[in-house]
Structure 1
Amino acid sequence: MSGRSGMDSGPRSVVVVGAGIVGLSTAWFLQDRGVDVTVVDRTGIAAGASWGNAGWVAPALTSPLNSPSVLREGLRAMADPAAALHIPLRADPTLGRFLVRFAAHCRPGAWHRAVRANAVLNDEALETFDVLVANGVDAPVTDTSIAVSFRSAARAAAFRRDLERVGAEQTPTFEMLTGSDLRTHVPLASAEVADVVLVHGQRFVDPGRFTHALARAVIARGAAIRTGEVGRVRPALDGVSVEMRAGEPLHADTAVVATGAWLPALTGRRVRVGLHAGRGYSFTVPVERALPGPIYLPEARVACTPYRGGLRVAGTMEFRRPDEPLFRRRIEAIVASAAPLLDGVRWHERHDEWVGSRPVTDDGMPLIGQVDRGVYVAGGHGMWGFAHGPASGRLLAEQIVTGKQPEAARAFDPLRRR
């Protein structure tokens, strides 16, 4: 690789390990600063969570996972295999250590710290998607309002209060819908839905399509995208060495590890923050009435998005190893929780059943920054990797090229201690 970063002291070449939304966004913003990039992924573009997620770019709804309510829900879930949060009852020391640390961060103070830190990614989420689309990423990004649907007015009121605490730089605009207005704006809502909070100013995409379009833009700017499994990333005398399981190693000035839930395999003990796979499930179903925008069902923890003429339904947080197979009972649990709240959905005709592993940190904040000489990481966004991926990529590209950690990224330092 050759080229020049535009700054004499900056790297001229970078290998990005991981071809999901986070890795490709980092590659794009590095290219925007004049750096030559090679992207390598073990299975290809958007092969993991960047394909099967709900596709929301919804900064108003990106609450960190480590809230006290999630801890309470997790304790109840231990006895309920159909719960939206699923923790398998089996001997797994790695998961056990992660859950102990995660529980320690499910305190109001730790959660609010994560909210404040993640606000910078929320504030830049929409704008960074605009930058990508305006500069050659050929995929639609749809402006929308998200219909957050509740069985009771009390729960809807509580959610409104949460919006004011978790929102981006400014509290998002919303309106309350009941009665005929509710049925008009949410034509799939069943009679069990009594109140809807319609949150304005959000967006959604087809996540697989967008990620592939981003990859094409990265290639058009001169990058190579290679398929192969990386065994090790380490500093070398003249930069970094990215060692492949098969074939010759790749050499560059710098490397970025953006492998999602597989990130610990390449960072080892250098990263002190606990990270574990929080697997999500999705599938697609036909619908009898067109849906104008996404629906969120908080009581079921299910997100529904218009998708290729039907509805993509996504849900579940399942703490298992990332390579385990799809468990059909988790799909059935999503259907059982969502079906009473939606009419006009042909649940038995579902297809594209999918499971993917989202990287969850124990303190609710992602990992963005340097872990060794010339070696950086980007990941740990939990359920919000797609929404926060471009903003994270821009932050990391700035740090790599300038050699200075942006003030906004200090809370995400992968070597932080808690």
Structure 2
Amino acid sequence: MQAHGEETAMAARSGMDDGPRSVVVVGAGIVGLSAAWFLQERGVEVTVVDRNGVAAGASWGNAGWIAPALTAPLNSPAVLRAGLRSLADPDAALHIPLRPDSAVLRFLTRFAANCRPSVWQHAVAANAVLNEEAIETYDVLVSNGVDAPVTDTPISVAFANLRNADGFATELRHLGPRGDELHTELLTGTALRDQVPLASPAVATVVSVSGQRFVDPGRFTHALGRAVAERGGHLATAEVTGWSRTGGEVRVHRRVGAPLCADAVVLAAGAWLPALTGRRARVRVQAGRGYSFTVPVERALPGPIYLPEARVACTPYRGGLRVAGTMEFRRPDDPLAPRRVDAIVASAAPLLDGVRWNQRHDLWVGSRPVSDDGKPLIGVLEPGVFVAGGHGMWGLAHGPATGRLLAEQITTGKQPEVLRPFDPLRPGPRFAGPDDT
């Protein structure tokens, strides 16, 4: 009874009886800042700390899509087949080193085990809630002071092969419960050229997917960071080396400087998440590096283009075109490989006209945190320690929805039912069943 009394007194001192009053968020990308913003909505004092500052990672260099209709989990059987083929092609869109280090090898073993129809379909169903809340949560942020434009647009999915377009339309219908609400249109001829003025004659058809959005990702994330600061949040730049708990307090340790102390911590460090979770999380997270660059164009593009046959995404960006592509399983701190940029150009150039490929600038490589089972990690790692990461290529689309749901769990102490599939302590892959043959 005495121990219980001490525990109750400690909870009262820390504010944990009514939820934490202070939280340190590790990571100043879209996921971490969204968690901070929605925690502030619930009256929590927040400190956000990042090794390189706001939007220094994948939240700067991605394609900027808020496209719930297209957010397919990566662990599909088709991706596994493409990965195996890529072993013989160093310029393939999905690149796996022939001699991966031990951490990458362990991840790939688990990832391959999860590239089964049943696991992929489970990930699709789980991620549907993040898709359904993606647009709304951006509306909440913008209407409450996040000063950055969000553009409503169809996304034009361009194909050289008509059969591939039919297969894509079929896959869209399997990506979530909102398929009956999804509006698509098949464009050819003049309608195709009007919507995609940069399409080359090699493009035979375009599937126009309505009801999507895009942003300048760096601009939006910086605006979100300013909003957090203006609401009283503290933003710090420091490398976090770990965390510890003492009673009801969590200490976040920095390489330089005294620990940051709070009632709870949110680990939202992107591809660096495994260094902070250690072996506590059973699901493995690996850096899936993506590349982007900007090129001038001769004709304005009204909205994004996706080239699935080349696995390249293109978005209007500051008067030009941001071109993003590739998935490269290497260490997050490895340098940019110019060969990967050349491969993106080689695959996309035949499908686009009026693009000045030789004038590319703002070359960027960044690491997306890819989970081994197609679902992010959102929830409790241990008392007072929460995780938000592993969204793969869809951190920008799913970040605000993740932040809102996690803030609810942190402040109420109750796991929302829709977050159960994302539990960081969920078990790893199981052996294939009869539905996976």
Q: What is the TM-score normalised by the length of structure 1?
A: 0.98
State the 1:167 CA deviation: 4.1
Post-superposition Cα deviations, 1:271-315, rounded to whole Å, max 9, x if no partner, equal 110110000000000000000100000011000000000000000
Structure 1 position 377 matched with structure 2 position 377: no
SS of 1:28 mapped into structure 2: helix
- CA drift of 1:34 comes to 0.3
Distance (whole Å) between structure 2 residues aligned to residue 234 and residue 193 of structure 1: 55
Q: How many residues align?
A: 415
1:92 aligns with 2:105: no
Which amino acid counterpart does residue 385 of structure 1 have in structure 2?
G
Find the aligned partners of 1:40 and 1:71 in 2 and give their Cα distance: 36
**Matched residue type, 1:46:** A
Which has the greater radius of gyration? 2
C-alpha contact 1:6 1:33 (8 A) present in aligned 2: no
Equivalent residues of 2:15, 2:263 under 8 A apart: no
The one-letter code sitting in structure 1 at the alignment partner of 2:166 is A
How far apart are 1:6 and its partner, in Å? 10
In structure 2, relative to structure 1, the CA distance for the partners of 1:148 and 1:168 (3 Å cut) is farther
Structure 1's unaligned 5+ residue stretches are none
- The yes-or-no answer on 1:82 pairing with 2:91 is yes
State the 1:169 CA deviation: 2.7
Name the SS of the counterpart of 1:182 in structure 2: helix
**Counterpart for residue 146 of structure 1:** 155
Once superposed, which parts of structure 1, at least 4 consecutive aligned residues long, lie more than 3 Å away? 4-8
- Mapped to 2, the partners of 1:39 and 1:7 lie a distance apart of 20
- Given candidates 187, 191, 197, the residue that maps to 1:177 is 187
Q: Could you say what secondary structure the match of 2:201 adopts?
A: coil
Which residue number in structure 1 is paired with residue 8 of structure 2?
A: none
Aligned mate of 1:205, from 200, 203, 215: 215
**Residue 14 in structure 1 maps to residue 23 in structure 2:** yes
Distance of aligned partners of 1:7 and 1:168 in 2 relative to their CA distance in 1, 3 Å threshold: farther
Contact 1:6 1:34 (C-alpha < 8 Å) held by counterparts = no
Deviations 1:99-145 (A, max 9, x none): 11100110110000000000000000000000000000000000000
AA partner of residue 393 (structure 1): G
Match of 1:64 among 52, 55, 73: 73
Which of residues 55, 78, 85 is equivalent to 1:46?
55
* Partner residue in 2 for 1:401: 411
SS of the residue 1:299 aligns to: coil
Change (3 A) 1:103 1:65: same
In the alignment, which of 251, 257, 279 is matched to residue 241 of structure 1?
Answer: 251
Aligned residue among 37, 47, 50 for 2:46: 37
Q: Which amino acid aligns with 1:89?
A: L
Q: Distance in 2 between matches of 1:249 and 1:143?
A: 43
Change (3 A) 1:168 1:123: farther
Matching of residue 335 in structure 1 with residue 345 in structure 2: yes
Note if contact 1:235-1:373 (Cα within 8 Å) is conserved in structure 2. no
* Distance in 2 between residues matched to 1:402 and 1:170, nearest whole Å: 33
CA distance in 1, matches of 2:201, 2:210: 23
RMSD (Å) for aligned C-alpha atoms: 1.3
Identity of aligned residues (%): 72
How much does 1:8 deviate? 5.1
Contact 1:60 1:168 in 2 (8 A): no
**TM-score, L = length of structure 2:** 0.93
Q: SS state of the match for residue 173, structure 2?
A: helix
Matched, 1:221 2:231: yes
The Cα offsets for residues 375-395 of structure 1, whole Å up to 9 and x where unpaired, read as: 001000000000000000011
Q: Alignment partner of 1:184: what SS?
A: helix
Q: What is the deviation of 1:246? A: 0.9
Structure 1 distance, partners of 2:100, 2:40, is 45
Pair 1:355-2:374 in alignment: no
- State whether residues 280 and 358 of structure 1, in contact with CA within 8 Å, keep that contact through their aligned partners in structure 2: yes
Counterpart in the other structure of 2:273: 263
Secondary structure of the corresponding residue to residue 126 of structure 2: helix
> Separation in 2 of the partners of 1:235 and 1:364?
30
* Distance in 1, Cα, partners of 2:291 & 2:100: 23
Tell me, yes or no, if the aligned pair for 1:59 and 1:167 is still in contact at 8 Å: no
- Partner in structure 2 of residue 318 of structure 1: 328
- Find the aligned partners of 2:77 and 2:153 in 1 and give their Cα distance: 30
Q: Is the contact between residue 5 and residue 34 of structure 1 (CA under 8 Å) also seen in structure 2?
A: no
CA distance in 2 between partners of 1:227 and 1:259 (Å): 13
1:104 partnered with 2:113: yes
